[in-house]
Structures are given as C-alpha cells and as structure tokens.
Structure 1
Amino acid sequence: MNKTSGNLVVVDDDPYVLESLSSLLMNFGYSVRAFLRGGDAVAYFAKSGGDLVLTDINMPQMTGIELLEAVHRHDREVPVILLTGYAEFSVAVEAIKKGAFDFIIKPYDPLYLFHAIEKGINYKRLLQIEKNYKAELEETVKQRTQELADTLRMLTEMSTEVVKRLTAAAELRDEETGAHISRIGMYANRIAHFLGMPDGFVENITLASAMHDIGKIGIPDSILFKPGPLNDLEFATIRKHTVIGAKILQGSAYAMLRMAESIALNHHERWDGSGYPNGLRGTDIPVEGRIVMLADQYDALRSRRAYKPSFDHETAYKIIVSGDGRTLPGHFDPEVLRAFKELATQFDDIYSGLLDAADKDVPESTPSWLRSTN
C-alpha cells in the first residue's frame, strides 16, 4: 500500500482498544502517541503538534467533540477523525459541524481507516503547501515592490542630481548658484502650496523651477557677467535665455520637464503684459511662470550682483509690494503677490538659511535637497 508518513495522536479511554489501534497504526508505518485521557492528548498536542488526531467520541472526562474543539484552538487545520460505536446521525452531524474531518463507526475496516488517515494527512500537508506558497508569494511581491521603490527612489535622486548639475552649469562662475537654485525651489514650493495647488504640481514646480535660467548656457560670458549696465543689443541678447532654455527642455514626455520648459520660457513674463519674450498678459501666462517670476525677483533683489548691491528683506519686500519705478506691483499675479505677502517672513528665513528639514512648516512635498539652503 502506498502511504504517507505521519505523526498521529490517538485517544481512547479503553486501554485494550487503544493498544490494539496503536499497534495497527504502527504496523502501517505511522508514528503514534497514545493517550487514555483527552486532556493529556491536548496538552501533548499543544506542545508538540501532530499531523492528525484520531479519537473515540464517547469518553467520560473529555468527549471526542470537546477534544476536537480543544485541538482546533491550537491548530484549525489539523484533521480530527472521530470513532464511535454508536451510529447516531445527530452525533455525526454535530461532529461535522464542529469541524471533524471524518466520522468512522466501530468496528472499523482497517483499510478504510488507513485511507481516511492518509486522506487527512495529505489534506493537512496540502494546506501547508498552500500556506507556504502564499507566504512565499507575499514575500516575493514585498521584495519586488521594495526593489521597484528603491529603483524609483534611485531614479528620482539621479534625476534631481542631473537637474542640479545641469542648472549649475548655466551660471558656472556664480558662487551663489547652488543656494540660489535651492531658494527658488523653496520659494516656489511655498507659494504653490499656499495657493492650494495639487501635490503633483507642488512637487514638479519645486524641482522644475531650478531650471528657470538654464538658457543662460547659450549667453556669452562677456554679456552675462558684464560688470556695468547692458546696452540695448546686449539686453536683447540676454533676454534670449528664456527661448534658449525652452528649446533645451522642449519635447519631453515627463511632466516635470514640460513644466521646466514652461518656466524657462515664461518666468520673465509680467501680469501687465510688459514682460518678455512674448509679452503675455494675465492668465495667458502659465501659473508656474507667474510663481517663479516673483520668486526669482525676490531672490535677485536680495542677492548682490555686479550692477547692484544686495538688499535686506524689508527693502526687497517694499519694492515688490509697493514698487520702485523699475519693479511694480502690477508685474505680479495678484494671487501670487497675496501669497508672497502672507509668506514674506518665510521668504526671509529661506534666504537666510533658517529653514531646514527640522522646520515644522516645510511641506512634505519638498525634496530633501531643498530642505536646507545653507
């Protein structure tokens, strides 16, 4: 006979029946632990387990059904076969309801008993195989998900690094470039967050705004770093950095780079139509361009340039809010200007390097490389 090896727990309060049944099962090749009392069998099973429990149903101290329930409290999947000398239909139904694997009437046919035990052991092992497969599948999915997350994080970090290096190349000799890039991203992040823009927009503008001046790569150094005022021809040339930047970034399939293209082209457009390169007016200017235009203007006022000293926060704030003849409040989107007024203190803190990753006001969408501007 083909059989599956297994560890059986056998219970019967009649010592002669227990001995003969145990001997029969051992002759079949099973490992058998025999008990006269159900309580002892449950204690053993709780400690050592087993592949199948075979018990008489009519025992004085603990019935077979009570033993069945006790065993299943430790392991719901172990098969329990009940033996009885009385073919009572109601008892059989109750046993099945309680989770009995099989119900065998004494005197039993040894071959039938053997097949019932084999069926139970195979059932238990199939359940274990299924459980192991599910656990392995869950672990595989978890591992692959983590691998994908790690790859995505690596690609995001790599993209951020490429953006930083590419942008720094636009103003290679400007020692303020790195801090300027970080600050523009932080300003834009704060304004977009304040205006209630979607999370994806906030995340994209935070990184894309760093490329607003990428077109300066195409401007001659003699003009870009001229210490004195620019003449009309030179000023017309430097204005071209908006178009050059848009051409460098155009045609991307990625939303962040498409936004960067828009920002590069439009961050010198003005709400009143007096900006460049296309003289767009009002809401014809993409909102990302309107946001970065103010952010860039504030940072330019705060920064020292060859043609101007650096201004403190109060002076820069007054110029943007009230105007100074060259800069006018009408240059800015009124909603973006309102956001600036509300966030002015934070702008000062950002420029001064006082906001870092520990600051509770830093939005969660802010990339780690922008969380410190020192």
Structure 2
Amino acid sequence: MLTNTHTSALSKPLGEYIGASDVQIRENRGRHVVLIVDDDPTIRELLRRVLTMAGYRTATADGGLESLAAIDQFEGAITAVVTDVSMPGLDGLGLIGAAAARKLDQGVQFYLMSGAPHSLSMARTIGLPISGTFQKPLDIVALVARLDADLLAPAKVEDEIALDGIGWLGRALAHHDKVTGAHSDQVARYTAILSGAMGLPVGLAEDITSTSVLHDIGKIGISDMILNKPAPLTDDEFAVIRRHGEIGHSILTAENHRLSGMASQIARHHHERFDGTGYNRLAGYDIPLPARIVALTDVYDALRSPRPYKPALTHEEAVSCILKGDGRTKPEHFDPAVLSAFEGIKDVFERVDRHD
C-alpha cells in the first residue's frame, strides 16, 4: 500500500498519472525497456509502478555501477535510462559519461532527475548525451510524454520505412515468380486471421501478418526452371529449394529493424515442424512463434493451390490433412496452440478470396 510519504516524490496524486491508454500506444511502449536508477528505493518503486502501468517495460538499479553493468550486459535491450543525479559511488552524470565513453549510449536515451535545479542546469552545459532533465517532485505525465516523443515517434517512422521495404521486396518476388507472389499474399491473409484467433496483442499480430508475406523471399535466389518445373522435383532440385529459407534469412538480416528481424525468423524457420522433423530439425518452442504460425498457413495455402504436378485440394480436404494427417502432413508438425486456434476458425479460411 502506498502512503502519502511515498507519493511525495510525485508532483500530482498517483491516480492522475494512470489513465486508459490507447491499446496501440501501450503496445508500442511495451517494446521498450526503461531502466530506472535511484538510490532511493521509494522513488525507484514509484517510477517502476507508474511506467509499468503506462505500458513500458522496466528494470531498476540502485546506483550507477549496477546500471552501467546492466546496459553493457543487455546492450540493445535497454532503450531509455532515467537516473538521479546525486547517488553514492558512480552518480548520474558519471553513469552517462561512462556509458558514452564505452560507446554504450548508442540507441539509448538518458534522462536526469534531481531535487536541485542547479544540478540540472549544470548538466545541460557539459556535453553529455542527455535527452531531458526533470526536477523532483517529478511530473510523471511530462516524463511519459517525453519518453513517448523520443522512443515512439522514431519507431513509427522506422516502421513505416520497414513496411515500405517489405512491400517492394514482396513485389520483387512476385515479379520473379508470380505463383510464389500470389501464394505469399494468400499466406498473409490467412496469417492475419490465425494470429487474431490466437488472442495475440494487436500490434504483434499485425507485425506477424506484415512480415509473413516475405516467408518465401529466398526463392528470389532460386532458378525459374526449378520453381516453375511442371513435374515433381528430383532430390537434387529439392535440395536447392530447401535453401530458400537460408537465402531469405540472409537477405533480411542485412536490415537492422525489428520487422526485418521477424521476417528473417519466418523466412528461415517456416519449414520447421513442432516435432523436430523439419528442414533444420528445430523443434517445439525453439521455433519462433511467428514461424510456428506461418508454418500452418503456408501448408494450408499450398494444399489449396493447384500446381502443374498436383490438383488443388478443397477446403475440407486441406483441413483434414492438417488436423488428421494424410501421410505427409501430420498434426504433430504444428504447435498445438496454433493448431487449436486453426480448428476454431477453420471455416473463416474458406471464406477468404483466392486468386489461383
């Protein structure tokens, strides 16, 4: 139970900081870890509670040395540090200076807080990478607004750029192989339905859907003669086809963005099977969740699609193959949670327009 003594660290009552946030904003905040550094455990806990309620992920440290070690150990995971200026040992300014000297400040926003205005004024003049300063008692609304402005707005722009890149890569694949391009679009439609049925956060489901369209991007590096062969593949040709996951992974890991990272996971692992009998013998929850979802939607669309060497299956036949097995496809190939979600909404798949 918080007391009035605890809330004296804030400039407003605690309840005024905690309102109903837009779901998408909360999901975007949840992609960031804010490290709270203060030798006063009361302030650490207050900030942790309020920022967590706002949707941010948080970590805490009681001094500069502990927080510097955390930034170093979890490089890339911590995106913001809110630190007190005055602390025993390595203080807030020393922490920021040490992080900058060791080049640990890349991609990290640093914010100072202090009850002494002159400390904040001095801090702004010494050339450290400080994104903002806040006087105690803290106005958390202003702090959250500043975190949102610095962390979420750039991410939105980066996401738009990444989505544009996903779009033109998808168009390049469709130009290289129209059949694969059409298949990729269908898989994305099914993935949107299945991700939603699994009850995933809206933002995560949207990300998986957006990136699923590139699950076969590696086929851009496979010969047209193999891709369009009007007969079953030989063992050697199938070995070439199997390389498309690694080719796609190589293409997509060239970009340093969470969406390209997710697309890379899907491209590399969508032919894994939950029972460990897939391309690279990865099994169970070692297979990333986005790839476990696309593994099913990819198989469903492949079963429904006509090819020169095989007819298309009906919806009922494809569902039976996935849920009951047909000798090649088995229910053990799929994550049980994904399979259960599919079984619950399988009839929705039938209503999706097809462009075979």
Partner Cα separation in structure 2 for residue 182 and residue 217 of structure 1: 15
TM-score, with normalisation over the residues of structure 2? 0.53
| More deviation, 266-275/222-231 | 222-231
Counterpart of 1:191, as a letter, is L
2:309 to 307, 310, 324: 307
Q: 1:249 aligns with which of 236, 249, 252?
A: 252
The CA deviation at 1:334 is 0.9
Percent identity, aligned pairs only, is: 46
Q: Secondary structure in 1 aligned to 2:311?
A: coil
2:274 is the counterpart of 1:271: yes
Equivalent residue in structure 2 for 1:349, among 333, 351, 354: 351
Structure 1 residues 112-135: Cα deviation after superposition (integer angstroms, max 9, x where no partner): xxxxxxxxxxxxxxxxxxxxxxxx
- Residue 228 of structure 1 corresponds to 231
| Matched residue, 1:331 | 333
1:292 correspondence with 2:294: yes
Distance (Å, rounded) in 2 between the aligned partners of 1:287 and 1:150: 27
Tell me, yes or no, if structure 1 residue 165 matches structure 2 residue 158: no
Does the C-alpha gap of structure 1 residues 226 and 326 become closer, same or farther in structure 2, counting only changes over 3 Å? same
Identify the residue that residue 189 of structure 2 maps to in structure 1: 186
Distance 1:338 1:291, change over 3 A: same
Deviations 1:109-168 (A, max 9, x none): xxxxxxxxxxxxxxxxxxxxxxxxxxxxxxxxxxxx9xxx99998876664443233123
> Residue 177 of structure 2 contacts residue 224 of structure 2 at CA under 8 Å; is this kept in 1?
no
Runs of 4+ in 1 over 4 A off after TM superposition: 149-159, 176-179
Change in CA separation of 1:253 and 1:150 when aligned onto 2, cut-off 3 Å: closer
Equivalent positions of 1:1-374 (< 5 A) are: 159-172=162-175, 174-276=177-279, 278-352=280-354
- Aligned equivalents of 1:177, 1:223: Cα separation in 2: 12
Query: What SS class does the counterpart of residue 256 from structure 1 fall into?
Result: helix
Contact kept? 1:208, 1:257, Cα under 8 Å: yes
Deviation digits for residues 217-258 of structure 1 (CA, Å, limit 9, x no counterpart) = 111112111111111111111100000000001153311110
Q: Could you tell me which residue of structure 1 aligns to residue 73 of structure 2?
A: none
Distance 1:182 1:235 in 2: 23
Partners of 1:246 and 1:313 in 2: how far apart?
A: 31
In structure 1, runs of 5+ residues without a counterpart are 1-144, 354-373
1:36 is matched with none
Report the Cα distance in structure 2 between the residues aligned to 1:283 and 1:152, rounded to whole angstroms: 28
Q: CA deviation at 1:351?
A: 4.1
Q: Write the distance in 2 (CA, Å) between the matches of 1:203 and 1:338.
A: 20
Gaps of 5+ in 2: 1-147
RMSD across aligned C-alpha pairs, in angstroms? Answer: 2.8
The answer as to whether partners of 1:188 and 1:209 remain within 8 angstroms in 2 is yes
- TM-score normalised according to structure 1 size: 0.51
Q: Aligned with 1:339: secondary structure?
A: helix
Alpha-carbon separation, structure 1, partners of 2:335 and 2:189: 19
Tell me what 1:134 maps to.
Answer: none
Q: CA offsets, 1:281-338, max 9 Å, x none?
A: 1111111111001000001111111221111111111111111111111111111111
1:288 aligned counterpart, secondary structure? helix
Question: Over alpha carbons, which structure has the higher Rg?
Answer: 1
Amino acid at match of 2:207: N
Distance (Å, rounded) in 1 between the aligned partners of 2:163 and 2:180:
15
Question: 1:188 Cα shift?
Answer: 1.6
